Amino acid sequence: MNPANYLEIKNKIPSNVNILAVSKGFKSQEIKTIQNIGQNDFGESKVQEALEKQLTLKDHKQINWHFIGRIQSNKIRKIVQNFKYIHSVDSFEKLQKISNISREEKKNPLIMLQVKLSDDPTKGGFNPEFLIMKWREIQELKNISLTGLMTINPKGLSSKENSGLFKKCRALADSLQLPDCSMGMSGDWEEAIDAGSTWLRLGSLIFGGRF
């Protein structure tokens, strides 16, 4: 747990860049510690784990919960009911389902579409050409607010390679007139800021290693 690290990064980043504290695998008490020094956005990737924390921290009304994990179709209703932001929508079918369920639940989640910018079999996401082709149809979906794109770079890239992919994501977001890019993690957040990230997903830098 490293609150000093958090404060140092917070002081370094531009005012238009937000920190998303990736709290998956960490306890509610650790979330509380970081929230007490001004962090209100927390990212979870497992629905059940997140719901337990949300219950424990229900009195902390300022917390905004972000879903950042791979979305399973049978968990979409729970995600829509319990998360303000969804960062990892990786297909048109799931986006349609989120839209339909949001209408039923009278919700309007903030959505970032996950894009796949490199040939990495471990990552999901929209192919950029497909996203552009489907864009008009996507914009017509109700009860969702499209705010940006999200990308996860493959492991083991050089700083220059990371920057190149981040810049592609930013250019695609700009072409679709989307303000946000959720990109950059504990190992490459500086390159992500330089490329135009507005959301940094930071876990180990803030909370330390997971056990």
171: burial class by Cβ within 10 Å (0-12, 13-18, 19+)? middle
pLDDT at residue 2 greater than cutoff 80: no
Select the more confidently predicted residue: 77 or 157.
Answer: 77
Helix axes 28-35, 3-12, angle to 10 degrees: 40
Nearest Cα residue to 128 out of 76, 58, 95, 176: 176
pLDDT at residue 211 above 70?
no
pLDDT of residue 59: 95
Return the CATH fold of 3-205.
TIM Barrel (3.20.20)
Mean pLDDT of the chain: 95
Which residues are bridge partners to 85 per DSSP?
Answer: 66, 110
What is the pTM for the complete model shown?
Answer: 0.95
Domain boundaries, the chain: 3-205
Cα separation, 39 vs 201, in Å, equals: 13
pLDDT given for residue 208 in this prediction: 83
pLDDT at 210: 64
Tens digit of each residue's pLDDT (9 = 90 or more) over 3-51 = 888 999 999 999 999 999 999 999 999 999 999 999 999 999 999 999 9
Alpha-carbon distance 17 to 59, whole Å? 27
